[in-house]
Amino acid sequence: MKFSRREGVASFLALAATACAPGTLGGAGAGSGQGETLKDLAARSGRRFGSELAFGRPGEDRGSFANPLYAEILERECEVLVPENELKWAWTRPSASTFDFRQFDAMGDYATAKGFALRGHTLFWAPEKWFPQWLVAHDFGAQPIKAAETMLTEHVRTVCRRYGPRIGSYDVVNEAVEPETGALRDTVMTRAMGGGEPMLDLMFHTARSEAPHAQLVYNDYMSWERGTEDETHIAGVLKLLEGFRKRGTPVDALGIQSHIRLLKDAPVAEIVRESEGPWRRFLDAVVAMGYDLVITEFDVNDREAPDDIAIRDRMVADYARAYLDIMLGYEQLGDVLAWGMVDRYSWLTGFDPRADKSIKRGTPYDAQFRAKPLREAIAAAFATASSRHG
Ligand code: XIL
């Protein structure tokens, strides 16, 4: 059954309330942690589970705190929340001299009132295509380094001071490595700063001094699936992490976005077999440098998976389980955050559509707010993971 936005909110609220009735939480299965919430299962392995959420107003059909059906899932399953967009420059910086925190403030107030921890995504999203328009066209003047430093420092200081200890972990810089070349992206900001490295170093040093309590994360989307571009991306990220250590840049963890992809119609076991070895070598190298790991944006892109819902959901769940089992084998992995809890609101449907344009099924709950096999796969991965604190 599909909903269109034209259908009344009331009708989906009624249906979804039935779907969320007690006893619909999950399926059976050995070690699945049936009946336990994802946050409780994660806590047993010494970790925290969470999700992104969006801003919304009451009555809006969005994955927001103001949508009672979405909020109910967040409050039951999650310990940590992260804003999907609302802390990005395109939302918080209407101009070079102004800030607008109204949307994130409302989300932060909800999170604090309900006792959630918060992650800050992100102090800087590096690809120019995500900059606010004014920044792309900004004139940094006769002393560009000084002007850019002032702008970045002021941004980090303003955000960190506004939210203080309420934000315990920041994606200080997001996606600075260009996947095709492995080099740092070249943008109006890195050019003004005289290079990518000075820009990143300034961001992390400023974040450390303004939010000394916070975990500082470099976040990126290098993916575990094999493919030429990913090899180059991974090599570039490793080089960046090595550089941070050499220069004494205060970076605590690598954020692995984990938008994992079922992009070819191949058996899950085959994709896993091809991916696992090189991916483990990458993770081993990262933790050997003393970095912690965070899964910051987990979801499963089912673009090429079969149309049949039952088959597709099974593949998505099995693929997720294999990936999470590998990741949870690392005691350096702490937080695990999903990029959304309900398919209905997942960015994946619009970002990278299936040929039939149908809704993607890459989050734990379906469009009618019913738990799916993917939810059980995440539960089972936590339930069987060894505790990171022994
Ligand atoms: C996405 C949001 O989910 C969309 O709503 C928005 O249109 C684009 O950004 N990597 C990231 C996230 O770091 O910030 C992105 O979020 C998804 C990919």
Q: Enumerate the domain spans of the chain.
A: 10-383
Residue at token pair 């990005």: 88
Domain topology for 10-383: TIM Barrel (3.20.20)
Distance 372 CA to ligand 1 centre (A): 23
Q: Which residue's CA is the nearest one to ligand 1's atom 13?
A: 174
CA 61 to chain centre: 21
Mutate to test the pocket of ligand 1, among 221, 351, 352, 360 (most ligand atoms within 8 A of CB): 351
For residue 84, report the distance from its CA to the centre of ligand 1, in Å.
Answer: 6
Round to whole Å and give the CA distance between 260 and 302: 9
User: Tens of pLDDT along the chain (390 residues)?
Assistant: 333 333 333 333 333 333 333 333 433 343 445 689 999 999 999 999 999 999 999 999 999 999 999 999 999 999 999 999 999 999 999 999 999 999 999 999 999 999 999 999 999 999 999 999 999 999 999 999 999 999 999 999 999 999 999 999 999 999 999 999 999 999 999 999 999 999 999 999 999 999 999 999 999 999 999 877 789 999 999 999 999 999 999 999 999 999 999 977 678 998 899 999 999 999 999 999 999 999 999 999 999 999 999 999 999 999 999 999 999 999 999 999 999 999 999 999 999 899 989 999 999 999 999 999 999 999 999 999 999 876
Least Cα distance to 336 among 312, 320, 359, 350 occurs for 320
Kindly give the number of the ligand 1 atom that is closest to the alpha carbon of 340.
3
CA of 291 to the centre of ligand 1 (A): 24
| Beta strands in the chain, from DSSP E residues, in sequence order | 49-53, 80-83, 117-121, 167-174, 215-220, 253-256, 259-261, 292-301, 333-338
